[in-house]
A and B are shown apart, each in its own frame.
Chain A
Amino acid sequence: MSWKLFKLGLTSPENEPRFFPEEKPLASHYDVVIIGGGGHGLACAYYLAKEHGITRVAVLEQGYLGGGNTGRNTTIVRSNYLTSEGVKFYDASVKLWENLSGDLDINLFYSTRGHFTLAHSDDAMRTMRWRAEVNKHHGVDSEVVDRDAIARAVPTMDLDCGGGPAVHGALYHAPGSVVRHDAVAWGYARAAAQRGVEIHQQTAVTDIHTAGGRVTGVATSRGDISCDAVVSMVAGYTPRITDMLDLPTPIEIYPLQACVTEPVKPFLDTIIVSGSLHVYVSQSSRGELVMGSAVDPAVLHSTRSTFEFVEGLADHIVDMFPFAGRLRLLRQWAGMADMTPDFAPIMGTTPVDGFYLDSGWGTWGFKATPISGQTMAATVAAKRNHELIEPFRLGRFADFQLVGEKGAASVGH
């Protein structure tokens, strides 16, 4: 036996460093309370500690870390949006993603695949050209490509869609990537905890206390806490939190479903989105096809799955990949998407002093995890919106300054 193994056998496993430090008891005061231990909440905690030296921070999570939409999403990262505001914001996120594994010292399996948004009509081609030009203007790598280019990249796809609406061309976005979602939550959590942030799971915020129009603390399932600032980063639970403060918002909750097939040999190394067929697909590193669609037809506060979703999705996926008809589905699930009228997030300060909102992430917010964490941390530290998120303020719905992203976010997430 090797000496190294022998020595390792003598050290008891209890001495091995734990991934997360042991949980401390809940304190009676924190400078900042973050509601929600998804990617956004954990990233915000990390950047508060790292970039602003604010470490008396508690992340309160009612369930387990990453158990919300962070652990349910199909992990597409891209910045090929339609508005200047959106492109600049998501591009800043892509830049953070590219170095994040090193920054957090964890392998996030960040895999750059390239991203095709298929156009099945002249109208759709026009939107693709529009997006490509806005993207290029901001230095983002997007271009319109023709059928031949798609056929070369994805030889297994039927570009005539089985006689349905044929593919005319596509918007190709080289930086499009997929990431391991759980690791993102764990990596941010560990890095935040190492800098002194406390993370409390199984701790639900049940009310928010205010005095004279400003936040003074929160009530939780484990008792009251006083604090100077509350940051709500709860995605599909946002209206329940804003109701605690009687703060009206345009957010409505719709289920968003996804599914994976059994693993097959690698044949698809890029990400495919079709707005016309209402489907998108990528192949995971395990070989499964990860597939999804647009949100369910009506508001619902539930993570139930439906047969109608699979039926609709299968119907369209076989148009593009006829052989997919032979694949069996392995898993199906849903998350609760916090949708906004303009398909852009709602971020920053609110009419309640000390209450910050990071919401309206709908079907598109996973890719924003690093940049929303960073800009929200800067916003809380300065008590003023970071310039990148100013266009996403809640007040835009009072003065009609919407940021229309529907053309770039309704099916491709």
Chain B
Amino acid sequence: MKRIDCPEIGPRPIDEFTYGGEVRRPPQAGADTAALADYVFNRAGAPGVLREWWHHDPSGRWFVLERDTRTDTVLRSVPITEVAHAVPTR
């Protein structure tokens, strides 16, 4: 993958982006240490379609993209309106 096709800023070279990792559901306020540790450390790990954070450095904006981690293809950019709910319930 050399380009990321962002619906809002168009196709941009990958090296304009910084990888922000898997989108994880943050624990509720007052969650126990086990839930906190799970959020901080554990990851999906296995291949599949992952929702991930990507930072576009020149414009300083964060995007949530859905990417197939086996083929390295971006399937879609999760629209802003959906980002607040972009956390998969797993």
Binding site for B on A (CB under 8 A): 238-240, 242-243, 248-253, 297-302, 304, 308, 341, 397-400
Contacts and interface: CB of A to CB of B under 8 A. Distances in A.
A398 B70 contact: no
Contacts of B67: 298
Interface string B10-54: 000011001101100000000001100110011111110010100
A243 B46 CA distance: 7
B51 to A, nearest CB: 12
Contact of B46 (A240, A250, A397, A398): A240
A239 B45 CA distance: 5
Contacts of A252: 21-22, 43, 45
B72 interface: yes
Nearest to B44: A239
Interface of B: 2, 14-15, 18-19, 21-22, 33-34, 37-38, 41-47, 50, 52, 67, 69-72
Given A302-B72, A398-B33, 15 more contacts: A243-B46, A248-B38, A250-B41, A250-B43, A252-B21, A252-B45, A253-B45, A297-B18, A298-B19, A298-B67, A300-B69, A302-B70, A304-B72, A308-B15, A400-B37
B15 to A, nearest CB: 7
Dominant SS among interface residues on chain A: loop
Nearest to B71: A302
A249 B45 contact: yes
Contacts of A301: 47, 69-70
A300 to B, nearest CB: 6
Given A298-B52, A299-B69, A397 B42 contact: yes
B21 to A, nearest CB: 8
Interface centre among B46, B50, B52, by most chain A C-beta atoms within 10 angstroms, is B46
